[in-house]
Structure 1
Amino acid sequence: MLEDDHFNDLKKYNLFISHNGEGNEEYLEFIRRLVEARDFQWKDHGIPGKNSPDDLRQQMDKADVVIILSGLYSKHYDLIKNQVDLACQLNKPIILIRPYGLEEVPAELEKLAKGVVGWNKVCIVEQIEESFVDK
């Protein structure tokens, strides 16, 4: 099997990754880690800068899993809370990513999450894959 054939056989994961706008360091670092993950195809349906309730609903409708970068929660509380609330309304599993370099996550987010994971790309991918198995 050619490597391209192997890549085409991989499941593609439709994600919504929380965002606050273009250029956020934590968001960009998270995307970089997913890009570096081996044998993992994904698409982020979140569009930074498109944050109206209708925009968010359209983006999240296409996703199978919602990833919340909890480090954005304190800085952009209203926006991230809206994204979390919408994920709950749409019955989307939530994966919570710890703030970069920290262990603590907001308790109100942790109780809604299907899983909590740090910044190790292997652990992130495993948690995403597990959320699909449990669906």
Structure 2
Amino acid sequence: MPYLHNYRLFISHAWRYSERYQRAITFINAAPNFSWTNYSVPEDKKFEKMSRQALEEELRQQIRPVQCVVVLAGMYAAHSDWIQFEIDYAQSLKKPILGGVPWGAERTPLIVQLAANKMVGWNAASIVSGIREITP
């Protein structure tokens, strides 16, 4: 069997929309011949007690080692300071950003469109193909 490159990914998410995050994980896990490590941290009660500064540092530590940041481009992203922080930090490190457009979305937040190196449909094949295309 050929060697599979293991992609280090951070999947941006708003905890109030964790079902979309879980769907992204399911899509990526189901992709054939794709190996990856998830550097994003799903909802965790310890974050509720952190200061903004501590949470920003936690996000920096999660994003710093990744090869690609995947941003779920639901309209909530346009109103999330945290997603903006993740995008800004990823860009400061010159990390490629993949934007995923949810099924049936009529609009996509401008912050994601402008930041993304590539926008893809919200399905396993498109996400994996996009990651492979923009990740060194």
Normalising by the smaller structure, the TM-score range is: 0.7 to 0.9
> 1:27 aligned to 2:21?
yes
In 2, distance between residues paired with 1:99 and 1:23? 12
SS in 2 for 1:73: helix
Q: Of 72, 77, 82, which residue of structure 2 is paired with 1:73? A: 77
- Go from structure 1 to structure 2 and tell me whether the alpha carbon gap of 1:21 and 1:107 turns closer, same or farther (over 3 Å shift): closer
Displacement of 1:23 in angstroms is: 7.4
**Number of positions where the alignment pairs a residue of Structure 1 with one of Structure 2:** 126
Deviations 1:47-72 (A, max 9, x none): 12458111011100110000001114
In 2, distance between residues paired with 1:114 and 1:23? 23
Kindly report the root-mean-square deviation, in angstroms, between the aligned alpha carbons of the 2 structures: 2.0
Look up the match of 2:87. Answer: 84
Displacement of 1:126 in angstroms is: 0.7
Q: Which amino acid aligns with 2:99?
A: L
- Go from structure 1 to structure 2 and tell me whether the alpha carbon gap of 1:124 and 1:103 turns closer, same or farther (over 3 Å shift): farther
Look up the match of 1:3. Answer: none
Look up the match of 1:104. Answer: 107
Stretch of structure 1 that moved more, 24-33 or 65-74:
65-74
Displacement of 1:104 in angstroms is: 2.5
Displacement of 1:131 in angstroms is: 0.8
Mind listing any 5+ residue stretches in structure 1 that lack a counterpart?
1-5
Matched residues, percent identical?
34
Stretch of structure 1 that moved more, 91-100 or 42-51:
42-51
Look up the match of 2:57. Answer: 54
In 1, distance between residues paired with 2:68 and 2:62? 11
Mind listing any 5+ residue stretches in structure 2 that lack a counterpart?
48-53
Deviations 1:99-127 (A, max 9, x none): 34315311232121100011121111110
